[in-house]
Amino acid sequence: MRKIVRMKNYLTSKQKQVLATIIDLTQKLGHEPTLDQVRFALNYTSTSSVQRHTDSLKNLGYLNKNRELSLPENDQTVQIPLVGNVACGMPLLAIENIEAYIPYDSSSLRGNSDNYFFLRAVGDSMNATDVNGKTIDDGDYVLVKKQDSPDFGKRIVALIGENATIKRLKRGDGHIILEPESNNPANKPIYVFEEISVQGVAEDVIKKGVND
């Protein structure tokens, strides 16, 4: 069973920025960066500022305590960002939207890990079992592969106004249907008569509370 980080410890905007920079440099360099490399990438004037944030990240479990700037996972694991509330017009993976990072088995991904993100499910509109036996319950973490084109028949993430919604995408007669898959009859399909902003396709679900 895949391990995920505990999500109760939220990061400040500065901590998010430092962690994102460490992850990016680690991927680019092929090894953990130095404090000075992180300082240079962030355009900080001193390494002490970086050190203060990395010490906090270690205490929160986002970095290994026994090594300088190493990420706490093995070679088969990558850090996938958990995206929070999505503001209309703001890039989905902007630093402001990232709440945390979830380690995920890279061998289960199709293509580059940079094309993936997690969303936390809200509500019960997708809690019915589909043909693959995957349900999406309130609080679950949904793995999404970025895609901006409609993929009919798939569970997609669509941006409607300022809110991201996960629904089954279907064709209607002159319109698009965002179909819930729910045990709750209060959840109704959404009919869309214009182009929708597709953010990606839901590929996996990590159930809330699963930590090992």
Active-site residue set: 125, 167
Among the residues of 43-174, which ranges form H helices?
47-59
Report residue 129 as tokens. 């079992």
Residue 28 in 3-state DSSP? Answer: helix
In three-state secondary structure terms, 48 is helix
Half-sphere exposure of 118 (CA within 13 A, CB side): 26
Report whether 207 contacts 137 (CB < 8 A). Answer: yes
Q: How far apart are CA 132 and CA 114, in angstroms?
A: 25
Name the helix (H) or strand (E) containing 164.
strand 163-171
Give the residue from 58, 79, 76 showing the smallest Cα distance to 67: 58
207-208-209-212 Cα dihedral, nearest 10 degrees: 40
Read off the tokens for 57.
């990240």
